[in-house]
A and B are shown apart, each in its own frame.
Chain A
Amino acid sequence: GAVVSQHPSWVICKSGTSVKIECRSLDFQATTMFWYRQFPKQSLMLMATSNEGSKATYEQGVEKDKFLINHASLTLSTLTVTSAHPEDSSFYICSARLAGVMETQYFGPGTRLLVL
Chain B
Amino acid sequence: GENVEQHPSTLSVQEGDSAVIKCTYSDSASNYFPWYKQELGKRPQLIIDIRSNVGEKKDQRIAVTLNKTAKHFSLHITETQPEDSAVYFCAARPDSNYQLIWGAGTKLIIKP
A interface, CB within 8 angstroms of B: 32, 34, 42-44, 46, 49, 93, 97, 102-110, 112
Chain B residues near A106: list those with CB within 8 A: 46
Q: Is the CB of A103 within 8 A of B98?
A: yes
| Cβ–Cβ contact B99 & A34, under 8 A | yes
In the complex, which of the residues A103, A107, A112 contacts B44, with contact meaning CB atoms closer than 8 Å? Answer: A107
Q: Which residues on A sit within 8 Å (CB–CB) of B42?
A: 109-110
Cα distance A43–B100 when bound, in Å?
A: 12
Q: Mark B42-68, 1 if CB is under 8 A from A, else 0.
A: 111110010000000000000000000
Instruction: Determine whether the beta carbon of A93 is less than 8 Å from that of B43.
Output: yes
Which residues of B are found within 8 Å of A42, using beta-carbon distances? 104-105
29 contacts between A and B (CB under 8 A): A32-B98, A42-B104, A42-B105, A43-B89, A43-B103, A43-B105, A44-B89, A46-B99, A46-B100, A46-B102, A93-B43, A97-B98, A102-B32, A103-B32, A103-B34, A103-B49, A103-B93, A103-B98, A103-B100, A104-B49, A105-B46, A106-B46, A107-B36, A107-B44, A107-B45, A109-B42, A110-B41, A110-B42, A110-B43
